[in-house]
Structure 1
Amino acid sequence: MPNPLRSLLLAAFFISSLPCIAAGTQDRPGEVVATQGSATITFADIDAFAERIPEGKRPGFFSSPQRIETMMISLLLQRQLANEARKLGIDKDPALAKDGKAPTDEVLSAARVERFKADLVLPDFSKLAQEQYIAHKDAYAIPADITVQNVLVTIKDRGDGKTPMDRTEQIAAAKAIAEKVAAEATAHPDQFDALVDTYSDDPDKATGRGRVEDAGNATKYAKEFAAASRALQNPGDISPVTRTTYGFHVIKLLERKPAQQRSFAEVKDEIIKRLRDEYVEKEVRFHTDSLRNLPIDANEQAVASLRSRYGALAEVPAAAGAKP
């Protein structure tokens, strides 16, 4: 769907290249730049916005149609919400005043959104919460707690120091060591501590002896490592050689606490809160979108002057046949 404001901005930026547009707006702070719904934005409003941008960055900001579009949409929406707040008398709340001054549009628009949320009539989410629980039971389970011990064999040059090993040789050497560790661990799982001491390249092995808690958590550890840890079922089980970005691993299961399914009663409040938050967010978005999507009536020449008003140089089109 065509964006009329963006089309106007692009056209206005062409007009702004004309010398006659480059001056004459500095003394017209009350001139209307755009209107939408109940909102009217003037040069004074945009001046106030520009004051928040470091002076050296203003020319670059106002040379971008996309940034100006975003700014105008934001200011118009903020003004519409602030006007709703004024209509509801929210602006009379002394808590919103600062240093004895009337609350700004920014403060009022935020207060309007909070009032909108407070005034919403919320449905009963209990039935929907139960349906969500039944449909996604796994999401409300406490995952298995897995503790393992790990020998890490990193990929590095293990040669004699005279002839460097290439990458393929380094990988082969590391894998061979890991396979030896796996064979010895499978035969003598009770001697895994000694294997950690002898073969592991883990820098923390002296203190942790290769111990890893919550090892099945793929958000904390490499996914291959987490998957190999989850595959181990009984204490003492040894994993096959597993490769990650860190190198090759041999993993021994120390302890596995089974996953626990939480009851609906345990998670009901949690689900209802999430459903309620999603509902409120959706309703707020629907309301603000209804304001944001109202037609915008923009003053083309005023928009065109924004570049020069805030320090961006107007680009004069080159004459026909002129050389750069």
Structure 2
Amino acid sequence: MVYRRYGGPEVLEPAELPEPKTHVDSVLVRVRAAALNPADLAMQAGALDGAVDTYFPAIPGWDIAGVVERPGLATPEFSAGDEVVGYVRSDVQRAHGGLAELVAADVRTLVRKPRTMSFAQASALPLAGLTAYQAVVHTLGVERGRTLLVHGAAGGVGSLAVQIARSRGARVIGTVSPRDHGYLRTLGAEPVAYGHGAADRVRDLVPEGVDTVLDTVGGGVLTATAQAAAPGARVASLVDIGVPGVAPVFCRMDHADLTALLELAEADKLHIRIGATYPLARAADAQRALAAGETPGKIVIEIG
């Protein structure tokens, strides 16, 4: 699926393109599943046109899981038939993304897929998982003895952050809608209803205040719940970038981090909630569902 101009789901269209070319250190992957992310919609809409070059037709999608079709001459890590997971974000937008049968991927963007994970589950992990892992582990330094407050704890990044923090022995409190309280408890976290009075509800659970906070929601939620944090608490946000005292969180491909995520999943300490799957031909419908924000869990395109 490609887009030949900026826009919403309506600009997606099927296309027959030549097989992607591979260099000595890249791998040709036959994609079995590709997950959607809000960043895909933003890029396709041209939100980053001032910062990222786009060459049409462009193929959206950064998160893939599939099978090595042909390894490069300088990629001894992989052989034909190996099952892999990749975060194939490029510095430019072009005919390179995951919503395709074949993708040429730099070997540094790939890790082996655990046999215990389906292709759909594996494809849903890279961007959201790396974001959550890097926020929890590297930015906030969450470990045993700490208490983490996650705003938007039932979302794609939030739910993974909860599980990563729990795997490290931390106590986790999450703000969610009432319908997600049960789900959050299954992840080992303590749910708190978001909205007016959330800070008081957190303080009821942690009178001394939480010492780490991860915001995946934005919209002033950190200001509204500031009193829930202890003095000197570490605070990070995916959304409210540039706020004094708040560390920004971005996602970057890191082979060790992605491997650690997959090891957690293989050890049954990290679970991916798949909200819906679509065939490639219905990618526009999948994007509409993502934009509507009503699907609980990741949306995945299954290919082949």
Give the alignment's TM-score, normalised by structure 2: 0.22
- Which protein has greater RCO, CA pairs closer than 8 Å, 6+ apart? 1
Give the alignment's TM-score, normalised by structure 1: 0.21
Structure with greater proportional strand content: 2
